[in-house]
Amino acid sequence: MPADEAPDLSRPTTWQPLQSPMFRMFWLASLASNLGTWIHEVGASWLMTDLVDSAVMVSAVRTSMSLPILFLALPAGVLADRMDRRHLLIMTQLLMLSVAATMAALSWAERVHPMGLLGLTMLMGIGMVLHMPTWQASTPELVPRRMLPQAVAMGSISFNLARSVGPAVGGILVGSFGAWSAFAVNACSFAGVLVVLITWKRTRLEHSNGKSFVESMTEGMRFVRDDRTMRHVLLRVLMFVLPASAMWSQLPLIARYQLLWGSRGFGLLIGGLGLGAVLGAFLIDRVRRRLGSDQLLTVTMLVFAVLLACLAASTSKILSFLIIVPLGGCWMTVLTTLNATAQMTLPQPLRARGMACYLMSLALGMAAGSMIWGQIAQLASPATSVIVAAGVLPVMALVGKSWSVGTSLTEDS
């Protein structure tokens, strides 16, 4: 929907971006793809716990997905700013479909080795790193600028609706049929995205402006370095995700050894995170207007730390689920606020490269954090690892107060 055709409402609602037909198609396709991705992730994490008894190897599943983002996100962003984003997205969907189908076939035949699982997971991560900055940079083409925070929030709702359902479905599939079924469903989920991309008639075409690939990469890095808001966004992403990644890397071990749950229980916990994130999406605009982005980030990180410590101490299945739900809301609130701030700050010609830098900061925190907390869990216990991470979070929250991300979201929403 062109901006000049948008309804003139002073305060867009959370759901208003769905009035754009193309955004609505993208959103539904993304929901299906995210559903498959979460089903896949449960399959990969649980399969590793079956293959080896090692906290480091279980944590390495998430690290292997994050490392390609760390090293390849910026080149992927340059590609997305230089070549037709529609064509690039179609190629990434085909790559990820092929990897998921290969994982399904190998696990069905019981021919998966732990290192092979990590290798295929890393290949899936390469597909995702090509997909994510391109997909996120395309969002502003689908809605008016004033609806961009709501469009980003809708993207978070899609992701977290899938996370609230997908892991539970993944747990049922893995428990009933084996990990191969989770990978097969993920392979099928890419079909909806491909249909939408094939029918998307773009008029905007990217070009290099006569600059080399390296010059384009340097231009994106220079903007992020020199722009105060973007620099602060990346620092705050890193400072949150580095300790908060303990929740993701240690949750399979807490589910199996502390709560004595199987794959279905693990899926239920991940689903609780998604449920909390969806519920939080309905509150974030209201709370952000009252507190402002900076104070919202600080308060949410402190609440996350308290909840994380409670999760580490809990041996009750019901209590752990009740803790997990608000944890998901806190995770979504921090990252949606920072993501929307980045997209509002970046100029259109540099948007994919800027979002690539955002994803690199996210991946660096996830990869480094997963390795750190995995090593601590190996030396002590998963619960100890999570408690240490919970102790680091308040320090990061207070230090981050000196890096303001501004008030652009509250002004625009």
CATH of residue 31:
1.20.1250.20
Q: Does residue 94 carry a pLDDT above 90? A: yes
Distances in Å between the Cα of 160 and the Cα atoms of 70, 197, 237, 372 are 23, 22, 19, 26
- Go through 212-226 and write b for each residue having 16 or more CB atoms within 10 A of its CB, e for each that does not: eeeebbebbbebbee
Structure tokens at 259: 């709560």
Residue 386 phi, psi dihedral angles, 5° rounding = -70, -40
What is the average pLDDT across 238-265?
Answer: 89
Residues 200-220: what's their mean pLDDT? 74
Instruction: Say how many domains are in the chain.
Output: 1
pLDDT classification of 203: cutoffs 50, 70, 90: low
Chain centre to alpha carbon of residue 238: 14
Q: What is the mean pLDDT of residues 72-100?
A: 87
pLDDT at 160: 67
Q: What is the pLDDT averaged over residues 371-379? A: 90
Residue 208 lies in a domain: no
| Per-chain mean pLDDT for the chain | 84
Does pTM surpass 0.85? no
Task: Specify if 8 maps to a domain.
Answer: no
55 vs 3 pLDDT, higher one? 55
Residue % of the chain over a pLDDT of 90: 29
pLDDT class for 413, splitting at 50, 70, 90? Answer: very low
Cα 178-184-190 angle, rounded to 5 deg = 150
Q: Residue 282 phi/psi, 5° resolution?
A: -80, -15
- Confirm whether 3 is domain-assigned: no
Is residue 12 very low, low, confident or very high in pLDDT (cuts 50, 70, 90)? low
Percent of the chain scoring above 70 in pLDDT: 92
Identify the band that residue 176 occupies on the pLDDT scale cut at 50, 70 and 90.
confident
Q: Does residue 260 lie within any of the structural domains?
A: yes
Give mean pLDDT, residues 3-32.
72
Separation CA 297–CA 396 (nearest Å)? 11
Whether 206 shows a pLDDT value over 60: the answer reads no
382 domain residue, yes or no: yes
> Do 143 and 82 contact (CB within 8 A), yes or no?
no
Q: Identify whether 225 is part of a domain.
A: yes
**226-246 pLDDT tens trace:** 999 999 999 999 999 999 999
Host domain of residue 285: 17-201+213-412
Asked if residue 2 belongs to a domain, the reply is no
Report CA torsion sign: 249, 283, 31, 239.
negative
Residue 375 lies in a domain: yes
Mean pLDDT of 307-327: 95
Q: Is the dihedral of CA 285, 287, 289, 294 positive or negative?
A: negative
For residues 366, 269, 274 and 384, what is the CA-based torsion angle, rounded to 10 degrees?
-30
Lowest mean pLDDT among 103-107, 244-248, 264-268, 409-413: 409-413
